[in-house]
Amino acid sequence: DGGITQSPKYLFRKEGQNVTLSCEQNLNHDAMYWYRQDPGQGLRLIYYSQIVNDFQKGDIAEGYSVSREKKESFPLTVTSAQKNPTAFYLCASSALGGSGGYEQFFGPGTRLTVL
Amino acid sequence: DQQVKQNSPSLSVQEGRISILNCDYTNSMFDYFLWYKKYPAEGPTFLISISSIKDKNEDGRFTVFLNKSAKHLSLHIVPSQPGDSAVYFCAAGGSQGNLIFGKGTKLSVKP
């Protein structure tokens, strides 16, 4: 089945450690996105990539890093510089161009808890 | 500044009645608007979208209305069902493909 997978579902880390969240899609989408959701907040964009080997900062990129070495994969690293890393992280992908509405398809999310 | 606003954090509706979720936006350059439904600890799922050149789009029980002059859109769910209970996000997008999301409205449909 086509879709987006994120792993793991739950992740615990000690303060000061870097952690990498996985996101893979087999939808052949060009664009991929990382969002963060906090209680009572909408989805805030961390980073996005519209093509392999290129990515752009979103609204809250500080303390995060990404890579896009393959079209299917867009891992997110939460670094120790991120002051409030505990959150629900969502990865999404979309096809670009055409007459569609640029609908984004979301993965199931990763709940990161920093102890 | 929030470019996409959902001013009602929550909405409670009786089963079988109409649910109306509202969304306001500030940027007249948005090309399209989408509604997503989200259950706790899951990713959002796409519900329905509308292009800025239209004023209505319907899909089964879901209808989205767009009032460009008022920079306002709404999602109507008729009839509402208990399974519709979730958080609904409004999103708006432009030519770059990025979406800007509202903070969501939690809908509770009571049997």
Question: Maximum distance among all alpha carbons in chain A?
Answer: 45
pLDDT of residue A41: 83
Which pLDDT tens digit goes with each residue over A86-95?
999 999 999 8
Written in H, E and C, the secondary structure of A46-106 is EEEEEECCEEEECCCCCCEEECCCECCECCEEECCCCCCCCEEEEEEEECCCCCCCCCCEE
SS3 B98: coil
What DSSP designation does B104 have? -
- Tell me the two tokens of residue A97: 């161009």
pLDDT of residue B96: 74
pLDDT of residue B77: 98
Query: Is residue B42 within 8 Å of residue A108, measured between CB atoms?
Result: yes
For A99, residues 6+ apart whose C-beta sits below 8 A from its C-beta are none
pLDDT classification of A97: cutoffs 50, 70, 90: low
Contact B104 A31 (CB under 8 A): no
Given A42, A50, A102, which is nearest B102 (Cβ)?
A42
Which pLDDT tens digit goes with each residue over B69-109?
999 999 999 999 999 999 999 999 887 778 999 999 999 99
Which pLDDT tens digit goes with each residue over B4-51?
999 999 999 999 999 999 999 999 889 899 999 999 889 999 999 999
Which amino acid is residue A7, in one-letter code? S
Query: Is residue A50 within 8 Å of residue B95, measured between CB atoms?
Result: no
User: Is 60 exceeded by the pLDDT of residue A101?
Assistant: no
Q: Count CB atoms within 10 A of the CB of residue B13.
A: 19
**How many angstroms from the chain centroid is the CA of residue B20?**
9
Contact A88 B41 (CB under 8 A): yes
Element (H, E) at B50: strand B45-51
pLDDT classification of A61: cutoffs 50, 70, 90: very high
> Which residues in chain A are contacts of B34 at CB distance < 8 A?
101, 103
User: Is 80 exceeded by the pLDDT of residue A53?
Assistant: yes
Q: How far is CA B56 from CA A6, B6, B17, B39, B51, in A?
A: 34, 19, 20, 26, 9
User: Is 60 exceeded by the pLDDT of residue A9?
Assistant: yes
pLDDT classification of A1: cutoffs 50, 70, 90: low
Q: Is residue A109 less than 8 Å (CB to CB) from chain B?
A: yes
CA distance B12 to B58: 22
CA distance A106 to B51: 21
pLDDT classification of A99: cutoffs 50, 70, 90: very low
Query: Is residue A90 within 8 Å of residue A106, measured between CB atoms?
Result: yes
* Interface test mutation site (partner B, options A9, A35, A99, A102, max chain B beta carbons within 10 A): A102
Pairing of the two strands A110-114 and A10-13: parallel
Q: Is residue A12 less than 8 Å (CB to CB) from chain B?
A: no
CA distance B105 to B83: 15
